[in-house]
Amino acid sequence: DAGVIQSPRHEVTEMGQEVTLRCKPISGHNSLFWYRQTMMRGLELLIYFNNNVPIDDSGMPEDRFSAKMPNASFSTLKIQPSEPRDSAVYFCASSSGMRNEQFFGPGTRLTVL
């Protein structure tokens, strides 16, 4: 199994630019989670989906952040416009049920200059 796949692995962009992070969950998993990790705030859940439907987006910081899951094998997290305080590592995780073990991808390291 290839595990959770995220792209890009690293992204450097300038303030004001649009950033799109991508995630392919493990085949057969029906729950998908987006997290953000920083030194100051640790690992925070941004949003999660079950069967492609957003269940809880209370962790999305503001309207500049949006996430979609058009099908069971693909999800995106978009930041528009990006700001320096968005610099963090963004993880995608998937599980075979909302309450089951979450498997994390390798993360996307985002730097906004």
Partner 1 sequence: QKEVEQDPGPLSVPEGAIVSLNCTYSNSAFQYFMWYRQYSRKGPELLMYTYSSGNKEDGRFTAQVDKSSKYISLFIRDSQPSDSATYLCAMRGGMGNTGKLIFGQGTTLQVKP
Residue 51, classed as helix, strand or coil, is: coil
Residue 113 CB: number of other CB atoms within 10 A? 10
Applying CB under 8 A, does 102 fall inside the site for partner 1?
yes
The residue (of 45 and 81) whose beta carbon lies closer to partner 1 is: 45
15 and 112 in contact (C-beta within 8 Å)? yes
The span from the CA of 30 to the CA of 6, in Å, is 17
Site for partner 1, residues 18 to 77, rule: CB under 8 A: 31, 42-45, 48, 50, 55-56
Q: Does 105 bind partner 1 (CB under 8 A)?
A: yes
Sites of contact with partner 1 (CB under 8 A) = 4, 31, 42-45, 48, 50, 55-56, 91, 93, 95, 97-99, 101-107
